[in-house]
Structure 1
């Protein structure tokens, strides 16, 4: 019998309380178990951390690893970044011959492939950071004012984003279940209109607006 120890991670307490981030991870794990796992299988136990992916000193992850090794079970996660955002940490776990790792979103990937994916993801994050710093340096060298009106604009934009985020979270209980049930963006928009839920401007919903709501919700 195939045995698993599941591990999930969300970055903030807010995500943990809302369940949205955990729901998405549970969905991916369930899809793996239903479509890719050997049967019969057993879930030995599950662990959840509310910690940043850059912090590798996570108590529940340590427990999950210990139990998986002790029980001869596979450590099952939804996506590789739920384990860590540091390729060195992931590589160390893969080098542990007593630990079996399985990623739901990449059901056929072996340890070598997972290692490559982790390295590429880390390189991409580093490049994005360098690109942002370079853009700021160029703007400063050209004499662009990075404060003043720009700061006021950023604050106003932040307020708009915060309001949009609150609205998205308010209707998450309607939008997320419909999407997970396979409804199209247009169908979800229709259901919101039928329920009397108005957009920020008091109008009817479009597929594009539903898409933006889903993008604002944690995965």
Structure 2
């Protein structure tokens, strides 16, 4: 039987970006398992980090890799940059004889192709960073007040946070009592879905979203 250890990662800044959120990762992994995995298969572990891909020290990734090396299962990620944004980190991992890597969005890619993709993605990020710095320097030379742009961004972020808190408070009467009774995050998500309560984007609830709601309610409380 084919066995998988699933790893997902998202940073605070990426939560709302299309294609990078946890919902999208859940979707891509589910599509891979349904359409591209060998049958039968078993998911023996799921791990999730809420940290930037620039950091190599990620406790949940370390735990996922430990389970992979121990059991011989394959590490399954939605996209390669969910594993890391550093080509050196990915290359080192692929050189590990005890680690087998599968990427849901590239179901047929071999190690060589994954390595090339990681290198090209890193070059693209470096170019985008250089282009952004050049644009900011040019704007500053023309007398544009960059601080004003940052202030607008901060205000927009505050509005986003306020909306998130308001949405959390709307489901508080369902989420908090269930949690107090010992219900798991997944069970609470299933209860919200069964009640027809949509997420902010109109989708179905996942355990990770319930966790964020509880954290926001705790912060407000």
TM over 0.5, shorter chain: yes
Indicate how the Cα distance of structure 1 residues 136 and 61 shifts in structure 2: closer, same or farther if over 3 A, else same: same
**Offset of residue 158 of structure 1:** 4.5
Q: CA-to-partner distance for each residue in 1:64-92, whole Å, 9 max, x for gaps?
A: 11111111110001111110000000000
SS in 2 for 1:175: coil
Match of 2:159 in 1: 163
The Cα offsets for residues 27-47 of structure 1, whole Å up to 9 and x where unpaired, read as 111110001000000111111
**Cα distance in 1 for residues equivalent to 2:52 and 2:93:** 18
Moved more, 151-160 or 47-56: 151-160
SS of the equivalent of 2:21 reads: helix
> Structure 2 vs 1, CA of residues 176 and 25 (structure 1 numbering), >3 Å: closer, same or farther?
farther
- Structure 1 position 138, deviation (Å): 3.4
In structure 1, C-alpha distance between the alignment counterparts of 2:56 and 2:25, rounded to whole Å? 19
Find the counterpart in structure 2 of residue 10 from structure 1: 10
1:163 Cα offset (Å)? 3.2
Q: TM-score, normalised by structure 2?
A: 0.68
Q: Structure 1: any 5+ residue segments left out of the alignment?
A: 179-219
SS of equivalent residue, structure 1 residue 130: helix
Alignment of 1:85-100 (within 5 A): 85-100=85-100
Q: CA deviation at 1:135?
A: 2.4
CA-atom RMSD in angstroms: 2.9
For the pair 1:177 / 2:203, whether they are aligned, the reply is: yes
Larger radius of gyration: 1
Greater RCO, CA 8 A, separation 6+: 1
Aligned to 2:214: none
User: Counterparts in 2 of 1:1-219, with a 5 A limit?
Assistant: 1-12=1-12, 15=15, 21-140=21-140, 143-147=141-145, 150-152=146-148, 154-156=150-152, 158-160=154-156, 162-163=158-159, 170=167, 173=199, 175-177=201-203
Q: State the SS of the aligned residue for 2:42.
A: strand
Cα separation, 2, equivalents of 1:125 and 1:13: 16
Shift of 1:165: 7.3
In structure 2, runs of 5+ residues without a counterpart are 168-196, 205-221
Q: Under a length normalisation based on structure 1, what TM-score does the superposition of the two structures give?
A: 0.68
In structure 1, how many angstroms separate the alpha carbons of the residues matched to 2:43 and 2:50? 21
